[in-house]
Structure 1
Amino acid sequence: MLIPHPLLGMRDSQEFVYLGDARLLDRPDWASPDAPELFYEYAYLRDNPAGLHRELWFHEHGDRSWLVVTRNTVTHEIISAELARKTK
Structure 2
Amino acid sequence: MIINHPLLGPRDSSEFYHLGDATLIDRPNREDPDAAQKFYEYVYLRDNPAGEYRELWYHEQGDRSWLVVTRSTLTHEITDVKLARDEARTRGRSQ
Compute the TM-score of the two structures, normalised by the length of structure 2. Answer: 0.91
* 1:8-39 CA-partner distances (Å, limit 9, x unpaired): 00000000000000000000000001000000
- Overall identity of the aligned pairs, in %: 67
Match of 2:64 in 1: 64
The CA distance in 2 between the partners of 1:29 and 1:71, in whole Å, is 28
Match of 1:86 in 2: 86
The CA distance in 2 between the partners of 1:21 and 1:40, in whole Å, is 15
Greater share of residues in helix: 2
The CA distance in 2 between the partners of 1:40 and 1:31, in whole Å, is 14
The CA distance in 2 between the partners of 1:21 and 1:86, in whole Å, is 17
Structure 2, unpaired ranges of 5+: none
User: Is it true that 1:35 corresponds to 2:35 in the alignment?
Assistant: yes
